[in-house]
């Protein structure tokens, strides 16, 4: 077998098979325990929900997706900037770490009503803000640690030629931090989804998959609720692999060769 | 020799400020290196040898005394200096060729076109035996090959001064001897003035014209020794009786510097 097809099998077929096996086990579990829909819907019940509401899935799915991605983008910009400040300045690190850890420890569900009061009616703002707030922490920490642990020799080879701090940052510190940055971004992607859905479910405003989940709950349409969960998982996987793709492009050099 | 030295270290004294007060590292160090010369600095570990490289390259400023490169006192880093460390610090995301070309992205007015720069990089890589590895990533090279690439990077912008801070320290014995020979060839062919920090006495004898022994911290100059070898050296020369004698003398001086042997004669 050629190396190429070998890789295709490993990277595409194996994950797909494992998903199918998971769905079969789920189906079997529900069938074996003979659970009714309101206890746990089985995958075979969900097709009806998808058929009936497929338009809504697209509309709401898109609303969830763009708001999550926007929140994530802000998080990348803000987190990187914050990480830079903390990575370069000891004082900033000492000053900001306790604040950040404290902020990160506050359950975000409790923050949802607070920001809803701050920006009444600004539903997109609220949602994007929450996606951002919940996801910037790992990015800031990884960038700060990456810069902070840069070996002095790396700095010195350029500084000895008269390079400015900014040049050292662009040519060495930033690219060298990319693997850690992408590691954090993978965590941030999932977190941003949780942020978006928190707002959609706790402060219902008729948008996003969270809203669809909520209407499923109100109408006692249990298969719809499970169908939404599955759709969310799908979007999460989609976004995660988008990050993996970016990582391959920008930090592929850090990957260990196959053995 | 009456020519002006390329590197002149004049009464350099330096201390680091620590939480428990200043820690004197170097005390009144003075020596010159003539154009195309090669001086090795040896001494007990932790005596401040690396600090000396930072002072010469302008990354640190001395508390007293001064360093003069090419006739001008050093006040800040200068593009006429090339550096190589024990860690080859190659950038993993760049090819070997692009790593070697890195200094030219920093140094202004080197006057080399892209083609000329690449031609020079190819020439240097060929000189160290890395032809054909231009497009490889550093992770695909062995430790010795990485260090050779790092030497090419240090020389790409035609520095007048090359500062080597234990560049062969992490290599195995055979690779190290290979690199000594490559380094010797580079110093002759590139006509660069070198200062080498090392704790390998044989290395200092094989590469240098003069060996400076530093004393323990705060380091002063304990001893200076002129290497009785010309520009046509081989590794075998290191086994000549007069060289073995020099090595024994260096070893004795280091032991005096470490305080393990009473000084029988005061070194200059």
- Stretch A131-143: mean pLDDT, rounded? 94
pLDDT confidence band for B263 (50 / 70 / 90)? low
Domain boundaries defined on chain B: 1-75+196-268
For residue A188, what pLDDT is reported?
96
For residue B44, what pLDDT is reported?
79
Residues A163, B87: C-beta atoms closer than 8 Å: no
For residue B267, what pLDDT is reported?
45
The four Cα atoms B50, B56, B60, B61 give a dihedral, to 10 degrees, of: 130
User: Over 90: is that where the pLDDT of B48 sits?
Assistant: no
Q: For chain A, what percent of residues have pLDDT higher than 70?
A: 98
pLDDT confidence band for A155 (50 / 70 / 90)? confident
pLDDT confidence band for A257 (50 / 70 / 90)? low
User: Over 90: is that where the pLDDT of B24 sits?
Assistant: no
Residue pLDDT, tens place only, B182-207: 999 989 888 899 999 998 999 999 99
Does the beta carbon of B93 lie under 8 angstroms from any beta carbon of chain A? yes
Please report the DSSP string for A38-100 in residue order: TT---HHHHHHHHHHHHHHHHHHHHHHHHHHHHHHHHHHHHHHHHHHHHHH-HHHHHHHHHHH
Residues 6+ apart with CB under 8 A from B111: none
User: Over 70: is that where the pLDDT of B1 sits?
Assistant: no
| Smallest Cα distance from A163 to chain B, Å | 6
Alpha carbon distance A151, B74 (integer Å): 24
Return the residue of B nearest to A248 by Cα: B93
Alpha carbon distance B52, B3 (integer Å): 23
pLDDT confidence band for B268 (50 / 70 / 90)? very low
In the numeric block, which tokens belong to residue A248? Answer: 């391959």
The larger pLDDT score, comparing residue A129 to residue B109, is at A129
Q: Which of A154, A156, A157 to substitute to test the interface with B, most B CBs within 10 Å?
A: A157
Which residues in chain A are contacts of B93 at CB distance < 8 A?
Answer: 175-176, 178, 251, 253-254
pLDDT confidence band for A258 (50 / 70 / 90)? low
pLDDT confidence band for B259 (50 / 70 / 90)? confident
Does the beta carbon of B89 lie under 8 angstroms from any beta carbon of chain A? yes
Residue pLDDT, tens place only, B102-161: 999 988 877 788 899 999 999 999 989 999 999 999 999 998 999 999 999 999 999 999
User: Over 90: is that where the pLDDT of A36 sits?
Assistant: no
Alpha carbon distance B224, B214 (integer Å): 9
| Smallest Cα distance from B267 to chain A, Å | 33
The closest alpha carbon to A65, from A246, A242, A243, A235, belongs to A235
CATH 3.55.40.20 for domain A53-252, yes or no, is no
Residues A253, B59: C-beta atoms closer than 8 Å: no
Cα–Cα distances in Å, from B15 out to A10, B7, B61?
A: 58, 21, 10
ipTM for the whole predicted complex goes beyond 0.85: no
Question: Which of A158, A159, A253 minimises the CB distance to B92?
Answer: A253
Alpha carbon distance A191, A133 (integer Å): 9
Domain B1-75+196-268, second-level architecture:
3-Layer(aba) Sandwich (3.40)
Max Cα-Cα span within chain A? 74
The alpha helices in B107-240, defined as continuous H runs, are 114-127, 143-155, 173-189, 201-207
Q: Which of A161, A181, A252 to substitute to test the interface with B, most B CBs within 10 Å?
A: A161
The larger pLDDT score, comparing residue B101 to residue A258, is at B101
For residue B261, what pLDDT is reported?
62
Domain boundaries defined on chain A: 53-252
User: Over 50: is that where the pLDDT of A259 sits?
Assistant: no
Q: What is the average pLDDT value for chain A, to the nearest integer?
A: 89
- Stretch A154-178: mean pLDDT, rounded? 88
Residues 6+ apart with CB under 8 A from B120: B112, B156
User: Over 70: is that where the pLDDT of A19 sits?
Assistant: yes
Does the beta carbon of B143 lie under 8 angstroms from any beta carbon of chain A? no
pLDDT confidence band for B46 (50 / 70 / 90)? confident
Which residues in chain A are contacts of B87 at CB distance < 8 A?
Answer: 151, 153
For residue A136, what pLDDT is reported?
95
Which DSSP category does B5 fall into? P
Question: Which of B78, B92, B106 minimises the CB distance to A167?
Answer: B106
Return the residue of B nearest to A160 by Cα: B77
Residue pLDDT, tens place only, A190-205: 999 999 999 998 888 8
């Amino acid at each position: 077998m050629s190396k190429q097809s070998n890789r295709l099998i490993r990277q595409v077929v194996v994950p797909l098979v494992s998903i199918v096996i998971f769905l079969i086990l789920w189906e079997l579990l529900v069938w074996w325990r003979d659970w009714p829909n309101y206890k746990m819907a089985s995958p075979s019940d969900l097709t009806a929900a998808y058929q009936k509401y497929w338009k809504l899935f697209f509309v709401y799915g898109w609303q969830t997706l763009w708001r999550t991605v926007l929140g994530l983008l802000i998080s990348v910009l803000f987190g990187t900037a914050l990480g830079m400040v903390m990575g370069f300045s000891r004082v900033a690190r000492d000053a900001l770490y306790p604040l950040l850890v404290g902020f990160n420890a506050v359950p975000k569900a409790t923050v949802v009503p607070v920001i809803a009061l701050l920006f009444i009616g600004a539903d997109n703002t609220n949602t994007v803000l929450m996606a951002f707030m919940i996801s910037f922490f790992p990015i800031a920490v990884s960038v700060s640690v990456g810069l902070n642990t840069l070996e002095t020799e790396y700095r010195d080879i350029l500084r000895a030629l008269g390079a400015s701090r900014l040049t050292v940052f662009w040519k060495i510190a930033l690219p060298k931090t990319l693997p850690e940055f992408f590691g954090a971004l993978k965590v941030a992607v999932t977190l941003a989804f949780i942020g978006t859905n928190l707002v959609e479910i706790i402060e219902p405003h008729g948008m996003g998959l969270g809203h669809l989940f909520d209407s499923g709950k109100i109408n006692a349409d249990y298969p719809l609720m499970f169908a939404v969960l599955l759709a969310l998982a799908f979007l999460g996987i989609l976004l995660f692999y988008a990050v993996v793709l970016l990582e391959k492009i920008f930090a592929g050099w850090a990957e260990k060769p196959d053995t | 020799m009456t020519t002006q030295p390329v590197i002149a270290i004049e009464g350099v004294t330096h201390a680091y400020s620590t939480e428990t007060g200043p820690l004197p590292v170097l005390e009144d160090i003075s020596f010159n290196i003539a154009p195309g010369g090669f001086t090795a600095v040896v001494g007990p570990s932790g005596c401040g040898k690396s600090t000396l490289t930072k002072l010469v390259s302008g990354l640190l400023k001395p508390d007293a005394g001064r360093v003069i490169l090419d006739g001008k006192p050093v006040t800040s880093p200068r593009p006429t200096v090339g550096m190589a460390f024990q860690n080859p610090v190659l950038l993993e995301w760049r090819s070997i060729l692009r790593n070697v070309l890195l200094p030219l992205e920093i140094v202004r007015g080197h006057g080399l076109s892209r083609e000329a720069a690449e031609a020079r990089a190819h020439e240097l890589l060929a000189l160290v035996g890395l032809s054909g590895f231009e497009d490889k990533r550093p992770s695909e090279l062995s430790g010795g090959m990485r260090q050779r690439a790092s030497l090419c990077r240090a020389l790409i912008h035609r520095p007048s001064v090359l500062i080597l801070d234990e560049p062969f320290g992490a290599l195995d014995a055979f690779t190290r001897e290979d690199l000594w020979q490559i380094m010797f060839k580079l110093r002759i062919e590139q006509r660069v003035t070198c200062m080498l920090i090392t704790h390998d006495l044989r290395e200092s004898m094989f590469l240098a014209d003069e060996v400076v022994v530093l004393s323990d911290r705060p380091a002063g100059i304990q001893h200076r020794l002129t290497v009785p070898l010309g520009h046509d050296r081989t590794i075998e020369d290191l086994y000549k009786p007069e060289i073995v004698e020099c090595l024994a003398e260096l070893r004795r001086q280091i032991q005096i510097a470490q305080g393990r042997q009473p000084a029988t004669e005061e070194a200059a």
